[in-house]
Structures are given as structure tokens and as C-alpha cells.
Amino acid sequence: MGGAGKSFASRWGVHIAVLLFVAIWTVPTLGILVTSLRDRDQIAVSGWWTAFSTTPQTGATRLPDAEAQQERDGGYVISGNIFPEGEEMRVTRFGTRVQAPTEFEAGTVADLRNGETLVVNEDGTFEHTSPVPFEGRGQRVYYEARIPPRFTTENYERVLFSEGIGRSFMNSLTVTVPATIIPILIAAFAAYALAWMRFPGRAILIAVIIGLLVVPLQMALIPLLKLYNGVGAFFGVPSKTYLGIWLAHTGFGLPFAVYLLRSYIAGLPRELMESARIDGASDFDIFVKIVLPLSFPVLASFAIFQFLWVWNDLLVAMVFLGSTSNQLVLTGKLNALLGSRGGDWEILTTSAFVSIIVPLLVFFSLQRYFVRGLLAGSVKGG
């Protein structure tokens, strides 16, 4: 009973943990999507979780000046609407003093001074009356209103159809696809050799690869750039090319790729390899016909990681590729579009969601192999 109870509790614990991680990843993504579709003014006054309900907003406006008055029933009237045409807001309270901006309820007649009255209705229409002619500027009015949910695609139109966004998208694909495939090809050969082939210095090489896992990208970036420029100048290869950024991403991704693939390949059944050798298969035949097909889950798992790292990269792309209009990757273009206007949340969230669409497609197309790849090497073959 104790074992069964423990197993039951463990299963529920796993389920709760999975749901927690799903919520941690899903809720921010949902927030980005909702915010990217909201009106700019509503983003500034309320959070995305209020997007489907009316939100309160306070404001102030000035009524038309004396030139707009009309004579009526022995008095003078200025009327109109405090909101621009097409604005859908419902006034709840209003006032004429900054000390009491919500002094009166919408629809009530406010007695101002010397016989002047003002009424502001829920739909924003107003009527300002006076027994004597108005003079000078119009009355200042403060209001509290509730705004219905407003959604728009203008944010996406601004981001997707800005000049150069298509070229930057293709630049990102040109960088990301080779920078994902090249390290996989190199790491697969290296992982097989480190797992099943015996040669001098094998243990030291494995230790070096493990040590490289902890080297920060920022620390290695400048030395690598100097080395690349020096070698390129010696062979007459121009800097700021796709070749340079492919090599940079390959270098930064190889240690993890080799470590992950070796752990998985080393766990393949030894009997399978020995049987193939008895049948006369060479190491290359074993690698191509046996190891690669069996290693597809871990290859797909690393491909997801590498694709995400390269696609979302900005620093390496700016250093090795440049920032001209013909070289700028998508992250750089979106960053340039946002510029120094840190308050443009609608552009920031829309750009963020645009940038994650392709990684999401890659992840969901390979996600069935993801868990198996993460468990690489955890179970050894018998």
C-alpha cells in the first residue's frame, strides 16, 4: 500500500509540475499575443488580462470657445461631444475642477457659477448653458470613462509591412538554417568517434568539450572575432559575411551538440555494433546505417535548441554579419524599428510575437522527439 500510495503521489506530483511549467511558458506568450492585438491607448492604461472587459480611463478636454455658442430661449448654449468622432467610450463621472475631476455623475446638471450649467451625458454629448454670452476660451472638463475592448491589426501591419522586414526575414533564415545543420553534421561524426572509437587523447578531448560548455559567449566573442579577421585577411576572405556567422554559431553550438549526441550514441546497444562489425560493416557504414537513424530523436532535440538560439540571436549577428540594410537579421530589424521609443509597447509585443512564429513552427513539428532527445543517454543498452 505504501508503495502504491507513493506511486500515486509521485504521478500527481509530476502532473502538477508539468502543468506549472506549461503555465509558466504559456501565460507570457498569451499575454504577448493579446497585447500585440490591442489598441495603443488601452495598452498604456491597463494590463493584457483586462483586454476582454471595459477599462476605466480618466481624461480632460476643453470645450469649444465662445465662437461656437448659439442663442437659445433667451440664453446662450455651447453643445457637442467631448470625444472625437468614432470614439466609443461611456462617461461615468465628470467635473470642472482639477481638485474634483469626478464631482458629478454623467447625465446630471452641474451648477457652475453665475447661472452657468453643464451636463455631460454617458455618450460624451454635452450642453454648456449661460444666461449671458460666453467669452474667451472654452470650459475645461475632466471626465472618467469606461472604454470597451478594442482590438486592431494595425500593429502587425506596421511591423510586417515596414521597409526591409522581408529582407531581414530572409537574412535570418539564411543565417539560421545552415547554422543549425552544420554543427549537427560535425557533432554527429565527432560524437560517434568519441563514443565507439578508441584513439589516443580521447578522454582529454571529452574533458575539453565538457569544459567548453561553461565558456560564456560574451567572453569568447572578441578573441574569436580577432582570430576570424586575422585568418580572413591572410586568405583574402572579406569580413562581415554569412560564412563568418555560420562558423561563429557552429563554434558556439558544437560543445553542447557533441556532449548531447555522444551521451545518446554511447547508450546504444553494444551488441548492435558488434554484430555489424562481424558482418563486415565499417565504422562509416555503422554510423550512416545504424547510428544516424537511431539518433534522430536527439538530433531533432538539438536542432530545436540550436534553431532557437540562432534565430533569436542579435549580438553575434551584429558582430559577424553587420547592421546594414542588406545584412540586418530579423531581430536587428525589429530592434531598429522599435528604436529608442521604449514606450511603444504595441510595437515591442508585436515584434516579439512575429519573431517567435517560426521557432514555434519548428518546435511543434519536432516536439514528439523532444522529450526522447532530452532523455538522451539516461538508459544504457543491455
pLDDT (tens digit per residue) in 262-272: 988 888 888 88
Length of the chain: 382
The confidence score (pLDDT) of residue 376 equals 47
The residues that bridge with 94 in the sheet, in sequence order, are 104, 143
In the chain the first and final C-alpha atoms are separated, in Å, by 31
The confidence score (pLDDT) of residue 190 equals 92
Q: Distance of CA 159 to CAs 168, 213, 314, 346, Å? A: 12, 36, 18, 10
Q: Report which of 298, 302, 304, 284 is spatially closest to residue 379, judged by C-alpha positions.
A: 298
- Provide the whole-model pTM: 0.68
The confidence score (pLDDT) of residue 370 equals 63
Q: List Cβ neighbours of 192 (8 Å cut-off, separation of 6 or more).
A: 265, 283, 287, 291
**What does 326-372 look like in DSSP terms, one character per residue?**
TT--HHHHHHHHHTT-TT-HHHHHHHHHHHHHHHHHHHHHHGGGHHH
Instruction: Specify the residue for cell string 568539450.
Output: 209
Buried b (16+ CB within 10 A) or exposed e, 157-177: ebbeebeebebbbebbeebbe
DSSP 50: G
- Give the Cα-Cα-Cα angle 22, 33, 41 (nearest 5 degrees): 135
DSSP 108: P
Strands across the sheet containing 70-72: 70-72, 75-81, 125-130, 117-120, 109-111
Q: Report which of 312, 59, 310 is spatially closest to residue 181, judged by C-alpha positions.
A: 310
Q: Report which of 265, 250, 254 is spatially closest to residue 193, judged by C-alpha positions.
A: 265
Stretch (H or E) spanning 145: strand 140-147
Q: For 321-360, what is each residue's pLDDT tens digit?
A: 877 777 888 888 887 776 655 567 788 788 888 888 888 8
Mean pLDDT by 10 residues, the chain (382 residues): 58 84 86 88 81 84 90 90 83 91 92 90 93 90 89 85 81 93 93 88 88 83 82 72 88 91 87 87 88 87 90 88 81 75 72 83 76 49 40
The confidence score (pLDDT) of residue 1 equals 46
